[in-house]
Structure 1
């Protein structure tokens, strides 16, 4: 949920709660005032009737639909006015309506009179309904005004923040162009931009240093490794070494080659993670796959593999062409390496996928092998599948693995 929508939603909820509470208070006070006015009206009417009774006005002339006066011997309501709501049948409307009633007993001379006075509540109730409707319309209009004004004002206020986000989204770490953030008249946004500028400057500085360090290490290590390898090759070709010395030099030579491969693998991983490879549009992966298969033809023949190839679909994908070679060659090399001699190897393409099948007796591999330095055997460097995983994540390629009937299946979905 967007920040602007979220804050507006909170304003709406808070406003609704406030309006409900305020409406309840207004209606309660208004209803209380109406009740007091009706009660005063009933008291005034009762005082007039009492005065008329004192002046010997006949009961027949005083009794009507809204007031009933009778002589009584009861003293239950003597000088104690009682107010209550009741319903009465209206002959004209042929329906029952709500009324407020005042009942009191008065002594006039030697006689007691039971006085009941009624006032209709139709008009007050109708008035309250009209007030509620008016309040609802006013509150609804005010709420709409608050929502619209909040959206417009917040959109203008938060515009610099959105511009900062857009700038960060388009900023490339390896770019030599410095990040530019616009100044605003809001102090907090200016402070945010200053912090972001300082952070990106530091990150860029560290990135350049790391990149230079990686390139220097990769270059400098290869030279002494090449010297050690040549020296070992020269010593291995002489006849002056005994068996123990030959074994020691062979171990040095093997580990030298291994270290060289590790160096190249780590350098490649570092470049991938730092975004050193530029994206190319519509790289023809089918052509890259065909060229890599031809490159490994000799290895396939040496292991006497039953090789099946079905790469008739043209697959285009936006990625770096060098990393496309690395990705597909790793899959082919791993499939050849882990297929027993005389086994079956199959490479097939679909409309949007490339699949690699190879037979193997070791069972289903552990998915931990996709992490760096996890090895399937002692001869593995533990970097191949890690490089594959990095490339797949970088270019949104879905990688899946399955094992069935002694056959490993790797699938790349583009």
Structure 2
């Protein structure tokens, strides 16, 4: 959800709560004000009636005639006059002869004396139109809130398209930004100070990251050159030493171990350099690669290792699985998964490779324990039963490549001692 949309929704929620509660408060306030006005009107009318009784009316028949002329004024005879009873104002439901309906009235009742006889003076005002008026006022308030809400939503759309346009333009550039390409980041003209400050902070951050990236790239290139060259010389000298005449069996054993260490160091160096490139988010150009062809080629190369350990291989490979990816990264991914499944397998164990259009699954027998507890994807972490030539970076590279290429990687363990590595495609 966009920030402006979220802010607008919060404002609308607050406004709806205030409007909902305010409608009832508004109704009650108007209700009290109007009833106060009605009560004052009844009190003033009572004074006019009392004045008319003193000046213009002379007999009880005049009282009945007055009631016939105005049904809202009535004189009810009383047996005795109450002692100092105050005026009573309240609600009364009566039948209205003019409308033919039962409707509410506001009534004032006061004891009076006319020509020595006690009466109760009842003065009434109809409330039928009043209720309708109050409800219409409340509905008008609800309608105004509806107009306010629609106006805020419309304003939010306009602000999204105009006021926030520089922000989304900058965000779009950052989403496409690559450190190794060094494309410039621009900001459209804007009067919003926060956007300009954000742009300046982004520019500073990118300059710092580009400087760190250049230094790390130079270090990786220098390390690749400076380390690989002496290693190549060392391997060549060891090859010449093996071919030297008069070499004893004991000396050959020492040389073989030195060559094994040299091979392991070469593999470790290449893995570390590749990890450094992946950590730096270097751009690896992609191409359409057949995953099935890569898997078959890697299985052929590892056939000697499978035979040496007596591992039974079972495959179920789709005819062709095209995948857009960097070929070298894909080969490293598949090779490391297969090599890991062989190294951590039992002698005379089992290895199953399943390739579909949606995933690559490698299942192998091994330790009767989940490898997640042993730091499976941590760098330089190897299991106790790992071979000596293992450098502890195989699955770390697999995880880094999957993360870099957006391929979900899953590991599961099932009894008895079966380990599953699965790479999902898209």
Identify the TM-score tier after normalising by the shorter chain.
0.7 to 0.9
Partner Cα separation in structure 1 for residue 418 and residue 132 of structure 2? 83
SS at 1:369 equivalent? coil
Partner Cα separation in structure 2 for residue 291 and residue 188 of structure 1? 55
Q: Which residue of 1 aligns with 2:13?
A: 13
1:285 to 262, 273, 291: 291
Partner Cα separation in structure 1 for residue 326 and residue 269 of structure 2? 21
Say if 2:278 is the partner of 1:272: yes
Conserved? CA contact 1:398–1:413, under 8 Å: yes
Give the total of aligned pairs.
411
Residues 329 and 86 from structure 1, CA distance in 2 versus in 1: closer, same or farther, beyond 3 angstroms? Answer: same
Q: Which residue of 2 aligns with 1:363?
A: 368
Partner Cα separation in structure 1 for residue 311 and residue 33 of structure 2? 100
Say if 2:140 is the partner of 1:140: no
Cα deviation, 1:158-198, whole Å, max 9, x if unaligned, reads: 11111111110111121132323333222221111011011
Residues 82 and 304 from structure 1, CA distance in 2 versus in 1: closer, same or farther, beyond 3 angstroms? Answer: closer
Conserved? CA contact 2:109–2:121, under 8 Å: yes
Q: Which residue of 2 aligns with 1:383?
A: 393
Q: Which residue of 2 aligns with 1:337?
A: 343
Matches within 5 A, 1:223-302: 223-229=229-235, 254-302=260-308
Question: How much has 1:130 moved relative to structure 2?
Answer: 2.4
Q: Which residue of 1 aligns with 2:173?
A: 167
Q: Which residue of 2 aligns with 1:204?
A: 210
Note the aligned Cα RMSD (angstroms).
3.1
Q: Which residue of 1 aligns with 2:60?
A: 59
SS at 1:157 equivalent? coil
Cα deviation, 1:196-233, whole Å, max 9, x if unaligned, reads: 01111110111111011112112212233344555566
Question: How much has 1:328 moved relative to structure 2?
Answer: 1.1
TM-score (norm 2): 0.85
Partner Cα separation in structure 2 for residue 33 and residue 346 of structure 1? 85
Question: How much has 1:252 moved relative to structure 2?
Answer: 5.8
Matches within 5 A, 1:58-97: 58-63=59-64, 64=67, 65-69=71-75, 70-78=77-85, 80-90=86-96, 95-97=101-103
Partner Cα separation in structure 1 for residue 359 and residue 221 of structure 2? 34
Residues 40 and 405 from structure 1, CA distance in 2 versus in 1: closer, same or farther, beyond 3 angstroms? Answer: closer
Question: How much has 1:34 moved relative to structure 2?
Answer: 2.5
Q: Which residue of 2 aligns with 1:313?
A: 319
Q: Which residue of 2 aligns with 1:41?
A: 41
Partner Cα separation in structure 2 for residue 388 and residue 36 of structure 1? 82
Partner Cα separation in structure 1 for residue 82 and residue 363 of structure 2? 108
Show structure 1 runs of 5+ residues with no match.
none
Residues 28 and 400 from structure 1, CA distance in 2 versus in 1: closer, same or farther, beyond 3 angstroms? Answer: closer
Question: How much has 1:60 moved relative to structure 2?
Answer: 3.1
Partner Cα separation in structure 2 for residue 209 and residue 27 of structure 1? 71
